[in-house]
Amino acid sequence: MVRPGGRSARVQASVHAAVRELMSEVGRDALTVPLVAQHAGVTPSTIYRRWGNLQELLSDVAVERLRPDTAPEAHGTLASDLTAWAEQFLDEMASPAGRAYTRDALLGDPDGSNAGQCSAYAADQINLILSRAAERGEKTPGIETVIDRVVAPLMYRILFRPDRLDAAYARRLVAEVLRPAQPVTS
Amino acid sequence: MVRPGGRSARVQASVHAAVRELMSEVGRDALTVPLVAQHAGVTPSTIYRRWGNLQELLSDVAVERLRPDTAPEAHGTLASDLTAWAEQFLDEMASPAGRAYTRDALLGDPDGSNAGQCSAYAADQINLILSRAAERGEKTPGIETVIDRVVAPLMYRILFRPDRLDAAYARRLVAEVLRPAQPVTS
Interval B86-114: pLDDT, tens: 999 999 999 988 998 998 898 887 778 89
Contacts A186 to B, Cβ<8 Å: 134, 138-140
The answer to whether B129 and B85 have CB atoms below 8 angstroms apart is: yes
B186 pLDDT above the threshold of 50: no
Share of chain B above pLDDT 90, in %: 76
| Substitution target from A117, A130, A148 for chain B, most B beta carbons within 10 A | A148
Q: Which of A103, A139, A186 sits opposite B185 (nearest CB)?
A: A139
Among the residue ranges A43-47, B27-31, B140-144, the one predicted with the least confidence is B27-31
Interval B143-164: pLDDT, tens: 999 999 999 999 999 999 888 7
Which 3-state string (H, E, C) describes B98-163? HHHHHHHHHHCCCCCHHHHHHHHHHHHHHHHHHHHHHHCCCCCCCHHHHHHHHHHHHHHHHHHCCC
- The C-alpha atoms of residue A50 and residue A71 are separated, in whole angstroms, by 31
Is B116 in Cβ contact with A186 (below 8 Å)?
A: no
This complex has an ipTM of 0.89
Which among B128, A139, A57, B109 has a CA at the least distance from the CA of B101? Answer: B109
Q: Which of A116, A173, A182 sits opposite B161 (nearest CB)?
A: A116
Please report the domains of chain A, with CATH numbers, ordered by start residue.
Answer: 7-52 (1.10.10.60), 69-178 (1.10.357.10)
